[in-house]
Amino acid sequence: MPQDVTALQLVLSGDPALFAIVRLSLYVSLSAVVLAALIGIPLGAWIALTKFPGRQGVIVLLNALMGLPPVVVGLAVYLALSRSGPLGAFGLLFTPRAMIIAQTVLVTPIIAALTRQTIEDLWIEYRDELTAMNLGPIGRVTALIWDARFSLVTALLAGFGRAAAEVGAIIIVGGNIEGFTRTMTTAIALETSKGDLPLAVGLGLVLIAIVIAVNALAWTARRAGERLAG
């Protein structure tokens, strides 16, 4: 890593080490959001549409889990994936996959809770029509999820924002290994603690730019939704 170079120079010159870190961050967080969506959207929709004993309690719990502290998730996943832990045989600790798993655990409640809210609101509106059309449970769920697509995309972007910004979970399960499990946030933590601020600031700029871009995307998605589908 070049020593006395300013943050902006690193970003603008396309410093390969910096962008390798950025690529890894995006790979980990995007993968986590995809997995979290595959689990969270059907789960949220199911909770929204099914009556079962303890449903209100589950909803409260799901909303509370949106605020899971990342370090706690990191510790739990670390204990699970360690060679001395139940899933140790897979040898996943200190790899990008472990980071994806940890962030998936972190983001799934967010997507599930927001999906549940959106689908439940939509169901109240669509219930009569969808019932009158004699749709089975799968038909209803797919209709609701498709119609809620713009709100769900916003939920996914919220999940991505959370994943991309956290450091506590991935630093524990990833080990912050140079060139392997070092992402933007863990690199910022490391470089700051070493007193190497230009690189930390450069990474911070890129991270903020990504967060802004994600929010702009979310806003555009809502607007497109309103324009296209009303």
Single out the segment in contact with another protein by CB under 8 A; choices: 68-76, 153-161, 172-180, 212-220: 172-180
Nearer to another protein, 1 or 213 (CB): 1
CA distance 24 to 21: 5
Options 71, 75, 126, 165; binder of another protein; rule CB under 8 A: 126
Query: Is residue 182 near another protein by the rule CB under 8 A?
Result: no
Query: Interaction with another protein in 61-120: which residues (CB under 8 A)?
Result: 82-85, 88-95, 97, 100-101
Single out the segment in contact with another protein by CB under 8 A; choices: 109-117, 161-169, 192-200, 202-210: 192-200
Residues 6+ apart with CB under 8 A from 224: 150
Nearer to another protein, 73 or 148 (CB): 148
Would you say 101 and 92 are in contact if contact means Cβ atoms under 8 Å apart?
Answer: yes
Query: Is residue 209 near another protein by the rule CB under 8 A?
Result: no
Cα Rg of the chain (Å, integer)? 20
Q: Which of 27, 33, 7, 4 is closest to 18 using CA atoms? A: 7
Would you say 219 and 157 are in contact if contact means Cβ atoms under 8 Å apart?
Answer: no
Query: Is residue 225 near another protein by the rule CB under 8 A?
Result: yes
Single out the segment in contact with another protein by CB under 8 A; choices: 6-14, 20-28, 33-41, 53-61: 33-41
Distance of CA 20 to CAs 109, 182, 209, Å?
Answer: 29, 9, 16
What does the binding site for another protein look like in residue numbers (CB under 8 A)? Answer: 34-35, 38-39, 42, 82-85, 88-95, 97, 100-101, 125-126, 128-129, 131-135, 138-139, 143, 147-148, 150, 175-178, 180, 190, 192-197, 225, 227-230
